[in-house]
């Protein structure tokens, strides 16, 4: 039992990071109905920025917040300068632009911050000395750092929920997600809302990237690639238009990954299933879930009229 609890706790920590990047994907998907392939690389650039600001002597927490603020503006600029005009060109154009951004932003990061190209040390916001843990009854240990990451994710989700449900901007965002045409007719400044969605998503990505950097104690240009894939899987599992789904999807993906990579050790299956194939098993589970619920656990399905 202690082992089980331990694996779940480890999984929750990884899962929180997937959940944060997945939240960014969902916020953009709700607004524009496009999967943003550049989400991970946007987070990478922002995280590299946070590292650079921190390197100049600013405390890490302030550096991350500053980077998130810059990312908010940068996300808006990307929407305004690239995504919106591309959307007017052809249906495929936005997909191509995000793929192009994926390619361009990654190398842009190492051009702008050459040190990040080779990997740099990244500090953490939470205490992570060897003795910084909390022992649960049964022997499982819960490191403060992992608690901190999980709490951060839950706090951000709570803030997002409050934003969507309790503020006028959130109401406008929900309107645009629900029906852009009607939202426009009702006087919602659709374009500005979309810009804000992109900015919000980039800022969430910046915080997610900083947490990932903290847990790995390192960032490099390929950090975000795998995380993005898992995060998009998490977002799909939860339903691409549901923020709650992104969090549930991210956390459960982390837990599944952790359990699958640790449990079959004593089984015959261990030749085929193990740490390196945990992701494959996780994807298989997602596939099965999607077959039963084609728009994810919490996603809304749309009825098509002809």
Partner 1 sequence: MTTTMQSTSAGAPKAWPRPIPDSSPLHWVFRVIGVAVIAAIAIYIGLNATPSTLGNVTEACILAIAAVALNLLLGFNGQISIGHSTFVGLAAFAAGYTVNFWHWNAYWSLVLGIVLCFLLGFALGLPALRLKGPYLALVTLAVAFVWPTVAKKFLEQKVKKNSLKGTHLSPPTWTGLVSKGKDARLDKAIFLYWCGIILLLVAYVVVRNLRKSRIGRSLVAVRDNETAAAVMGVNLKFTKTITFGISAAIAGTAGWLSAARLDVFNDTSFTILNSIKYLLALFLGGAATLLGPIVGAFAYFFLDDYLRSHAPHWTWLPGQLSKGPIASFLLGAIVIAFVFIAPFGLVGFVKDQARRVFIVTPRPLRPALTPSALDDERPEESKGE
Positions in the binding site for partner 1 (CB under 8 A): 29, 33-35, 82, 85-86, 89-90, 92-93, 95-97, 99-108, 110-112, 114, 117, 229, 232-233, 236, 240, 271-272, 276-277, 279-280, 283, 286-287, 290-291, 294-296, 304, 306
CB of 25 vs partner 1, minimal distance in Å: 9
| Of 26 and 207, CB closest to partner 1 | 26
Nearer to partner 1, 152 or 236 (CB): 236
- Minimum Å gap between C-beta 81 and partner 1 is 10
Rounded to whole angstroms, the Cα distance separating 163 from 300 reads 20
For partner 1, the closer CB: 112 or 125: 112
3-state secondary structure of 3: helix
Nearest to partner 1 of 1, 288 (CB atom): 288
Nearer to partner 1, 86 or 194 (CB): 86
- As measured in angstroms, the least distance from the Cβ of 74 to partner 1 is 15
Instruction: Give the CA dihedral 193, 165, 17, 73, nearest 10 degrees.
Output: 20
In the complex with partner 1, the residue whose CB is nearer, 28 or 150, is 28
- Is residue 14 a contact partner of residue 151, using CB atoms and an 8 Å limit? no
Can you tell me the distance from the alpha carbon of 25 to that of 278, in angstroms, rounded to the nearest whole number?
23
Residue 133 Cβ vs partner 1, minimum distance, rounded to whole Å? 31
For the CB of residue 92, give the shortest distance to partner 1 in the complex, in Å. Answer: 6
Minimum CB separation of residue 51 from partner 1 in Å reads: 17
List 219's β-bridge partners, or say none: 120
């Amino acid at each position: 039992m202690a082992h089980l609890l331990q694996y779940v706790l480890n999984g929750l920590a990884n899962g929180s990071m997937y959940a944060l990047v997945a939240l960014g994907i969902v916020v953009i998907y709700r607004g524009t109905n496009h999967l943003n392939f550049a989400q991970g690389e946007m987070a990478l650039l922002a995280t590299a920025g946070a590292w650079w600001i921190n390197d100049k002597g600013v405390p890490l927490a302030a550096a991350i917040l500053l980077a998130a603020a810059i990312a908010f503006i940068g996300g808006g600029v990307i929407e305004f300068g690239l995504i919106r005009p591309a959307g007017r060109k052809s249906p495929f154009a936005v997909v191509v632009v995000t793929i192009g951004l994926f390619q361009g932003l990654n190398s842009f990061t190492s051009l702008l911050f050459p040190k990040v190209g080779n990997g740099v040390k990244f500090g953490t916001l939470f205490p992570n000395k060897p003795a910084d843990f909390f022992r649960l009854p049964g022997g499982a240990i819960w490191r403060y750092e992992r608690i901190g990451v999980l709490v951060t994710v839950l706090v951000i989700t709570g803030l997002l929920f409050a934003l969507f449900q309790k503020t006028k901007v959130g109401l406008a965002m929900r309107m645009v997600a629900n029906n852009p045409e009607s939202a426009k007719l009702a006087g919602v400044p659709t374009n500005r809302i979309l810009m804000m969605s992109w900015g919000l998503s980039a800022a969430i990505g910046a915080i997610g990237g900083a947490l990932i950097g903290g847990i790995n104690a390192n960032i490099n240009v390929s950090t975000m690639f795998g995380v993005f894939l898992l995060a998009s899987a998490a977002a799909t599992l939860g339903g691409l238009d549901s923020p709650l789904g992104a969090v549930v999807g991210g956390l459960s993906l982390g837990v599944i990954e952790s359990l699958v990579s640790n449990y079959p050790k004593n089984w015959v299956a261990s030749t085929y299933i193990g740490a390196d194939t945990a992701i494959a098993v996780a994807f298989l589970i997602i596939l099965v879930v999607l077959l039963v619920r084609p728009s994810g656990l919490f996603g809304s399905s749309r009825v098509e009229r002809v």
